[in-house]
Amino acid sequence: MSPQQPQEQLRIGLRGRPRMSRQQQKEYCMSHPTRTVAVVLAGGVGVRVGLGIPKQLIKIAGKAIVEHTLDALEASPLIDEIIVMMNRSAIDQLEPLLGNDRFPKLTKVLPGGATRNDTTQLAIAELEGDDTKVLFHDAVRPFIDDRIIGDCVEALDHYDAVDTAIPSADTIIRVDDNGLIADIPDRSYLRRGQTPQAFRLGVIRRAYELARTDVDFKATDDCGVVFTYLPDTPIFVVNGTAENMKVTEPIDVHIADKIFQMQSNSLSLENISSVPDLTGKVVAVFGGSYGIGQSIVELAQDAGAQVKEFSRSTTGTDVRSAKAIRRALRTVHDELGRIDTVILTAGVLRISPIVDAPKREIKETIGINLVAPAMLSREAFPYLEESGGQVVLFTSSSYTRGRANYSTYSATKAGVVNLTQALAEEWAESGVRINCINPQRTHTPMRTHAFGEEPEGTLLDPVDVARVALNVAASNLTGQIVTVQVAQMAAAKA
């Protein structure tokens, strides 16, 4: 048993301090050598989510939910080992992750049990050392963050059992057998449970040993087992987050997708003042002769990248032609030996009711705005698979809703978003990433030609959009639609 500490003192230590940086976490590990194992509980079958596959395998932002969860745990210096307890019928879906360079801490993918408690007991049987710190975490909570992991691990220095929870925003009522309100507990004492639930291994093992002797044993989580069968063991509660949600219902999938987009948006705001070091990288930009594309070319060159630009005006490259794209990419690869990023900024916007639009303009809009991204992605794939690189496409804020008088443009931009999300899933196993930048109104020649001069301060600077695009290109994101808004950008720069 670890030494106890007054709860008020620990509250100050955990909840009153700033989040530990990665370096501080590494230093903590050096001074606290006890092994920490994360057990990912992935035994669900996904009946409620209704998509016909286990919910942990549903893909959001280009990866299965469980992969996002593994990414977060893998990235934490506080976690030494990861074990996944997987639904027996789908265990083969995760076995390829073993021995994968993405998850070097993942040592086992094992079949789970019939219930959550059965699965926990199977995991316990695989672990050794009573002092080992164990974090049990739901596979379908992909938004666990460094702070939660750090608080759980640190709390185990003072307590043998730790839960994660958030305050309840709703009034909780208790009803009787007749459906009548029997009690309304004081909400200030109520919490909504999350995971991780963390324990010293010897304590959670002992709790289950006692539970197995009880013919009436019933519990919904692991802290409940400790609470019932080791009542003298205090269970400390660390603060979770609203984002640390559990993907269970169909609507949760859509909410999770939006959270990933919000995280992408924050990336865009955090990196408007700088461009990552691109020394040694090879970037091919299609549509780089003016506007956002030209800014990308200039910034990437300044950041050390070798950049090749293609457009109709400078190289005679028609992005609607697979042959022209293929020729351009082959030239880059033959000359520079690799291609790390392919960016397409080319676009066309024609303003007129569709009944008045010439057929030639409709075909041109569809060809440049939608056919070109599809063709470019197809032709770029083998080069990016070789380098582990990324495609960056561009959409428009009009993709969320069709706009009168430029309906074809809006439709093609919605198509680019769907293309990005679909290819992120198709390419997930290959290591090739694809993302899409969604800039709000931007001061480009294309927009000025369509709308004329607009009031100062109402448009994005193409240079700011270019910085966001290059930061996304240097990230590990995939399947994301990264929105850049005028008001947010102005506030971030103020």
- pLDDT tens digits, residue range 445-489? 676 666 677 677 667 788 888 988 999 999 888 888 888 876 666
46: CB partners within 8 A, 6+ apart = 52, 53, 54, 55, 56, 57, 58
**Does 477 reside within a domain?**
yes
**Does 1 reside within a domain?**
no
**Does 2 reside within a domain?**
no
Q: Count CA atoms within 13 Å of residue 118 on its CB side.
A: 11
Q: Count CA atoms within 13 Å of residue 102 on its CB side.
A: 17
Strand positions, DSSP E, 377-450: 390-394, 433-439
Structurally, the chain folds into a number of domains equal to 2
| 114 and 171, same domain (yes or no) | yes
Question: Closest Cα to residue 196, out of 260, 124, 133?
Answer: 133
Q: Please state, in angstroms and rounded to a whole number, the distance separating the CA atoms of residues 78 and 88.
A: 29
Give the sheet arrangement for strand 161-167, strand by strand.
Answer: 106-111, 81-86, 36-42, 133-138, 191-200, 161-167, 235-239
| 264 and 239, same domain (yes or no) | no
Domain with 356, as residue range(s), is 255-493
Contact of 479 with 256, CB cutoff 8 Å: no
| 292 and 220, same domain (yes or no) | no
Chain-centre distance of CA 130, in angstroms? Answer: 34
**Does 21 reside within a domain?**
yes
| 300 and 332, same domain (yes or no) | yes
Contact of 67 with 40, CB cutoff 8 Å: no
| 296 and 270, same domain (yes or no) | yes
Residue where a domain terminates, one of 227, 247, 267: 247
What is the structure's pLDDT at 341?
Answer: 98
Residue where a domain terminates, one of 223, 247, 271: 247
**Does 135 reside within a domain?**
yes
| 170 and 282, same domain (yes or no) | no
Q: Count CA atoms within 13 Å of residue 418 on its CB side.
A: 11
Residue where a domain terminates, one of 220, 247, 274: 247
170: which DSSP letter?
A: S
Contact of 120 with 136, CB cutoff 8 Å: yes
Question: Closest Cα to residue 433, out of 466, 493, 388?
Answer: 388
Contact of 129 with 35, CB cutoff 8 Å: yes
Residue 88 one-letter amino acid:
R
Which residue ranges in the chain fall short of pLDDT 50?
A: 1-13, 16, 47-50
Strand positions, DSSP E, 357-473: 390-394, 433-439
What is the structure's pLDDT at 339?
Answer: 98
**Does 109 reside within a domain?**
yes
The CATH code of the domain that includes 448 is: 3.40.50.720
CA distances from 70 to 58, 96, 393, 441, 489 (A): 14, 14, 27, 37, 32
What is the structure's pLDDT at 377?
Answer: 97
Contact of 437 with 347, CB cutoff 8 Å: no
Q: Which two tokens stand for residue 412?
A: 């093609």
**Does 187 reside within a domain?**
yes
What is the structure's pLDDT at 481?
Answer: 87
| 123 and 31, same domain (yes or no) | yes
What is the structure's pLDDT at 60?
Answer: 80
| 384 and 367, same domain (yes or no) | yes
